[in-house]
Amino acid sequence: MRISVGDTGDAQWTIESRFLLTDDDDEEAFTEYADEVTSGQRDAVYDVQQFEPFRQDAQQATDREMSLENAGWDEPQIVSPEDAGLSEQQLPETDEDSSVRVGVITYSFTWTNFATIDEDRIYFGDAFETESGVWFSLTDTQRLVVESPSNFALETPTSLEWTGPHEFSDDELQIVFVRSAGAGGGVAPPPAMSEWLIAGVVGLMFAVGIGSYLLARRPQVELPPPADRLRERVMALGIVRRLRPRTGDDQSHPESGTTDTDGGSFETATGPVDSAPPGGAGTQLEFEEEFDDGVDPELLSDEERVLRLLKQNSGRMKQGSIVSETGWSNAKVSQLLSQMDEDDEIEKLRIGRENLITLPDVDPTEIN
């Protein structure tokens, strides 16, 4: 799912579920399932009411009137892997005569007054914070990406994407966009970012944790009957796991979870969509398939492991995330990264209280 910030302060939330289809039977089953979901004949995985507790918390914390509007399903689509942003390495092996396609069902709604406007600037992020701190974090299968408003540049020195696992610090998601020069003043974004803003986030899916409760309320994801025959062939992309509550109200925000399929090694879903545990709720943000070269990390040197992690995460990671991924001590990671920086294997950039680590050919201010 992507969060697209508008120049009025409203935010468009778009949730996508994607399914790999390997033959005509898969496509027929997906079409039947998707039509039933989007027409209301089947209980939907997504419902705007699942976001209502989050809206209430954000409204109280920001003292802004908010509402959730224009919720609904888009027309189901079946697209090529290329249009879905998948590489050949991310596709399952099939017979020569088989053609892999991707089925997409999309749910969206508008969250009004999610950001604030002050003359030529848009202030984003306070709706994610409460008195107890930031109310969501990313698991190791999740990525958060924020789309800038049209004709606005990024003023805050930060990336607009985060890859889990990640715990957000206070004010880390406080982002300021400034109206670009071409729209009547301000600072224009660099060319690479301009192209990204125009192109959007084609082929990606987002995965963000909404407090202790993501839409991840299914133990596993699969096309339900009459799509049972897809159990060995159809993989659901984009339904993610969210555990550990961030508030003390376990009754209103219980733990729940599902698994998601990361692109490097697709996993066939085996549980029915309709078998949801009671009380689960939440949502989902954009998720990009994870890189997987099939190499056992234990066979790599420390430097190779760091470079491999960076390649898995679009060439950039925060130092704390590297510590979490490797299980090494802070001191070891700090010393290793300093040496790799001296050897020009990586680059380090200090952002607030965090070090951003990038590959040499990656611009830390650029969104790919």
Residue 216 has pLDDT above 50, yes or no: no
Encode pLDDT of 311-341 as tens digits. Answer: 888 889 999 899 888 888 877 888 889 889 8
DSSP H stretches of helix in the chain? 24-38, 52-62, 191-199, 302-312, 319-326, 330-342
The strand pairing partners of 5, in sequence order, are 11
Q: What is the pLDDT of residues 256-313, one digit of tens each?
A: 333 333 333 333 333 333 433 333 333 333 333 344 455 667 778 889 899 999 988 8
Residue 352: phi and psi, rounded to 5, are: 65, -120
108 — pLDDT class (breaks 50, 70, 90): very high
Q: Which residues pair with 317 in a beta bridge?
A: 357
pLDDT band at 365 (very low <50, low <70, confident <90, very high): low
Q: Counting beta carbons within 10 angstroms of the beta carbon of residue 153, is it exposed (0 to 12), middle (13 to 18) or buried (19 or more)? A: buried
- pLDDT tens digit string along 175-193? 999 998 754 433 334 433 3
- Of the listed ranges 27-36, 49-58, 64-73, 283-292, the least confidently predicted one is 283-292
Architecture of domain 295-368 in this structure: Orthogonal Bundle (1.10)
118-139: per-residue pLDDT in tens? Answer: 989 999 999 988 777 777 777 7
Domain boundaries, the chain: 1-292, 295-368
Phi/psi at 364 (5° precision) = -65, -15
